[in-house]
């Protein structure tokens, strides 16, 4: 090789080396800039993640912790290094792990998820978070893990829980208030009915007190003369039936006057301590005689050890007799008549401890329409001539004169039960005893 060729080769080689060196230097500088940029990006990402107000958590494909920022670790009460490599399930409550597994499976399928998730803190307390999660994949699209951002919503959750609790309590209070209003309305309606009934009975008592004595003497004369004439008249005489009718109707009028007289005497009754069993069994002596003749079985449940109550014994006996006769009349084909007595305690009422007397029949029952007029004077469902309509009115007056209550439980076709509640200590009413208390 001549000198010129050698010089040309050396120049070419030197140029190649210069180009190669320049290329290497450019590549080095480019890689250095990229490294610096990557470091700056990583540092920027690390700064953003570490200073974020939300917790950041990265797990691998097996669910183990690869990274958590300081915020996430502080929310759970750990240091970041304490959480590294541990399964995310270890930071949940046992009953929440099934839900967390379902959420992870959904993330694996590539669906971004947003949901409320509860964690168990290091001290055992509850941390409620709003989780936003997404899957991490490699260049081939294979799942490599997941990243999630978690916002602490514990206070909001507690507030919502308290709000729901308050709403439930408010709804319960509304229901209780409605029930109280309904009960109070029903009580006022009952009191109004009692007042109306009491006014009727008071007026009737005043009327009865004024006319009974004036009617009693003429009726006694009519009955006496009709009976004298009947003794002197043969049954075959045409006037015998007319005299018999006069006697029968006069006796009915006389009984009506007696009822009115008894009703008017509800005022000024004398109270004394009595044994309920003794009073009631004395009243049932008459019923025990009549019941078998009417194919009625009489059942009694009256303990002798009941506490004494302050009553007018004859009035209570009349009350029981009237209720029993009324019950037997409701069973024309026979049945069962049950009389019970027991001591009861009614808290929050004027009755307090009281004696409850119930009279139950197996008759046809009472319709709603009849029920509304049951204690009205002269109201009766019996055929003409069979009743005066004063029996239950007298019962009502007797009960009210003892500051008690009377109620009816009945359905048409299912029998009836009259329940009388009498306080152990009852002072006489200041006004007419038949007036509603």
Domain final residue, candidates 107, 134, 152: 152
Q: What is the pLDDT of residue 198?
A: 61
Q: What is the pLDDT of residue 90?
A: 92
Q: What is the pLDDT of residue 382?
A: 61
**Token duo for residue 404:** 């008690």
In a domain, 412, yes or no: yes
In a domain, 401, yes or no: yes
* Number of domains the chain is built from: 2
Token look-up 């008549």 returns 337
Distances (CA, A) of 13 to 22, 26, 28, 131: 14, 20, 22, 63
Which residue range(s) make up the domain with 64?
48-152
The dihedral sign for the CA sequence 44, 50, 56, 57: positive
55 within 8 A of 75, measured Cβ to Cβ: yes
Same-domain status, 292 and 437 = yes
In a domain, 129, yes or no: yes
Q: What is the pLDDT of residue 435?
A: 37
Indicate the pairing of strand 65-68 with strand 55-60.
Answer: antiparallel
Q: What is the pLDDT of residue 207?
A: 60
**Token duo for residue 274:** 């009595």
Which residue ranges in the chain fall short of pLDDT 50? 428-437
Q: What is the pLDDT of residue 430?
A: 42
Instruction: Say if residue 259 is exposed, middle or buried (CB neighbours under 10 Å; 0-12, 13-18, 19+).
Output: buried
Q: What is the pLDDT of residue 230?
A: 85
In a domain, 64, yes or no: yes
In a domain, 201, yes or no: no
Helix axes 240-264, 391-401, angle to 10 degrees: 20
Q: How far apart are CA 91 and CA 104, in angstroms?
A: 14
The pTM (predicted TM-score) of the whole model is: 0.45
In a domain, 229, yes or no: no
Q: What is the pLDDT of residue 83?
A: 93
- Here the CATH number for the domain that contains residue 329 is 3.30.565.10
Express each pLDDT in 296-322 by its tens digit.
Answer: 999 999 998 999 999 888 888 888 988
In a domain, 252, yes or no: no
Domain final residue, candidates 104, 122, 152: 152
Domain final residue, candidates 116, 132, 152: 152
From first CA to last CA, the distance across the chain in angstroms is 146
DSSP state of 5: H
In a domain, 359, yes or no: yes
Closest by Cα among 226, 346, 357 to 279: 357
């Amino acid at each position: 090789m001549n000198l010129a060729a050698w010089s040309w080769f050396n120049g070419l080689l030197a140029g190649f080396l210069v180009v190669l060196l320049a290329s290497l230097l450019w590549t080095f500088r480019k890689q250095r800039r990229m490294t610096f940029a990557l470091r700056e990006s990583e540092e920027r990402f690390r700064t953003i993640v570490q200073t974020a107000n939300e917790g950041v958590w990265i797990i691998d494909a097996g669910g183990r912790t690869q990274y958590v920022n300081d915020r996430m670790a502080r929310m759970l009460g750990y240091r970041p290094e304490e959480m590294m490599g541990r399964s995310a399930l270890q930071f949940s409550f046992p009953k929440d792990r099934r839900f967390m597994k379902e959420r992870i499976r959904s993330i694996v399928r590539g669906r971004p998820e947003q949901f409320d998730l509860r964690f168990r803190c290091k001290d055992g307390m509850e941390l409620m978070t709003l989780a936003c999660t997404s899957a991490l994949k490699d260049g081939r699209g294979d799942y490599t893990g997941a990243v999630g951002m978690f916002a602490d919503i514990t206070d909001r959750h507690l507030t919502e829980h308290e709000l729901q609790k308050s709403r439930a309590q408010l709804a319960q209070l509304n229901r209780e208030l409605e029930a109280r209003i309904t009960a109070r309305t029903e009580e006022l309606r009952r009191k109004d009915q009692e007042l109306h009934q009491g006014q009727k009975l008071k007026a009737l008592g005043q009327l009865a007190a004024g006319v009974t004595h004036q009617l009693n003497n003429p009726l006694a004369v009519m009955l006496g003369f009709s009976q004298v004439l009947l003794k002197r008249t043969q049954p075959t005489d045409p006037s015998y039936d007319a005299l018999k009718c006069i006697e029968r109707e006069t006796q009915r009028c006389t009984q009506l006057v007696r009822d009115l007289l008894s009703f008017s005497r509800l005022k000024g009754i004398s109270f004394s301590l009595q044994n309920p069993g003794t009073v009631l069994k004395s009243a049932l002596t008459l019923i025990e005689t009549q019941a078998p003749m009417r194919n009625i079985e009489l059942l009694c449940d009256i303990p002798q050890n009941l506490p004494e109550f302050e009553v007018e014994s004859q009035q209570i006996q009349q009350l029981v007799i009237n209720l029993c006769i009324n019950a037997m009349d409701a069973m024309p084909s026979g049945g069962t008549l049950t009389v019970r007595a027991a001591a009861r305690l009614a808290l929050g009422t004027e009755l307090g401890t009281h004696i409850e007397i119930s009279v139950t029949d197996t008759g046809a029952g009472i319709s709603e329409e009849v029920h509304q007029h049951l204690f009205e004077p002269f109201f009766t469902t019996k055929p003409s001539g069979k009743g005066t309509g004063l029996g239950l009115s007298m019962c009502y007056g007797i009960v009210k004169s003892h500051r008690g209550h009377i109620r009816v439980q009945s359905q048409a076709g299912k029998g009836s039960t009259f329940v009388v509640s009498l306080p152990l200590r009852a002072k006489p009413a200041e006004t007419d005893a038949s007036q509603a208390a």
